[in-house]
């Protein structure tokens, strides 16, 4: 990767980098975390609600 980014090209030619093929082991954690964010955003568990309520109560808002 370092050699690909350190190449010198003239300004008339457009430097093309070949796309990096991401392995499945790098894609799955991102997909899982996005799914978790979506689920938590749609369904907020009661424990989370109680936790936030306790924080707000302690801050006296």
Per-residue pLDDT tens for 38-61?
Answer: 998 888 888 888 999 999 999 987
- The H or E element containing residue 38 is helix 24-42
- pLDDT: is 4 or 16 the higher one? 16
Residue indicated by tokens 């980014």:
5
User: In this predicted structure, what is the pLDDT of residue 30?
Assistant: 96
For the segment 30-45, the average pLDDT, to the nearest whole number, is 91
DSSP letter for 57, please. H
* Calpha distance 60→43 (Å, rounded): 26
């Amino acid at each position: 990767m370092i050699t690909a980014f350190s190449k010198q090209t003239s300004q008339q030619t457009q430097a093309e980098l070949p796309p990096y093929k991401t392995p499945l082991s790098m894609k799955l954690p991102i997909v899982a975390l996005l799914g978790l964010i979506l689920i938590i955003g749609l369904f907020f568990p009661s424990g989370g609600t109680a936790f936030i309520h306790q924080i707000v109560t302690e801050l006296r808002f």
